């Protein structure tokens, strides 16, 4: 028992980022499920081992690695740091695409306004995402889920 307690006390617990929310994580899981249905794939969050003790967490991965996706559940226009987070996700997908060259790479949004900078075609951001070989998809969430997300975002602004 003492060994278990010591292991728990010494295991690294990663703090959640300031903008993290259970409501957002739940919505992102629903988004990944929707993309899986649309592509006739079963997707799950996975840690992909890159070797040499390095691994990367991916929001949605098909069992055969033919589809990899990252979800961003934000509602409404993005702020600067949020755009950088999505670009980081796009870069991660592009990197993994080199490891799994047949994989379809998708950034998943639940709101057209949030996705706009990445699909407009007139910004360097959208051109960069396209050049990385990453597609952008917007899935519809139930109205109640969208309201919970907006409420969570409002609480995070305070």
Q: Please give the span between the terminal C-alpha atoms of the chain, in angstroms, as a whole number.
A: 42
Tell which wins on pLDDT, 149 or 101.
Answer: 101
Q: Domain 22-157: give its CATH architecture.
A: 3-Layer(aba) Sandwich (3.40)
Average pLDDT, rounded, for the chain? 86
The pairing of strands 43-51 and 67-72 is unpaired
> pTM score, two decimals?
0.81
* C-alpha closest to that of 46 among 103, 8, 85: 103
Q: Where in the chain are the domains? A: 22-157
Name 107's Cβ contacts closer than 8 Å, sequence gap at least 6.
69, 70, 72, 86, 89, 90, 93, 115, 118, 129, 134, 135, 136, 137
For 25-53, what is each residue's pLDDT tens digit?
888 999 999 999 999 999 999 999 999 99
For 14-28, what is each residue's pLDDT tens digit?
554 545 577 788 889
Q: Extract the tokens encoding 125.
A: 């951001």
For 77-102, what is each residue's pLDDT tens digit?
888 788 999 999 999 999 999 999 99
For residue 81, the model assigns a pLDDT of 86
Backbone angles phi, psi at 123, to 5 degrees: -110, 155
Above pLDDT 70, what percent of the chain? 85
For 4, 17, 51, 128, 144, the CA distances from 67, given in Å and listed in that order, are 38, 26, 21, 20, 28
């Amino acid at each position: 028992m003492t060994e278990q307690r010591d292991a728990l006390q010494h295991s690294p617990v990663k703090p959640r980022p300031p903008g993290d929310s259970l409501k957002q994580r739940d919505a992102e899981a629903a988004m990944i499920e929707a993309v899986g249905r649309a592509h006739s794939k079963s997707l799950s969050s996975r840690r992909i081992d890159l070797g040499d003790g390095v691994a990367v967490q991916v929001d949605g991965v098909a069992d055969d690695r033919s589809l990899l996706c990252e979800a961003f559940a934000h509602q409404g226009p993005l702020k600067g740091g949020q755009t950088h987070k999505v670009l980081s996700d796009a870069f991660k997908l592009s990197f993994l695409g080199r490891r799994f060259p047949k994989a379809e790479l998708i950034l998943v949004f639940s709101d057209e306004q949030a996705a706009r900078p990445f699909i407009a075609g007139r910004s360097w951001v959208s051109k960069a995402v396209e050049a990385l070989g990453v597609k952008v998809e917007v899935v519809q969430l139930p109205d109640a889920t969208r309201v919970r997300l907006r409420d969570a975002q409002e609480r995070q602004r305070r």
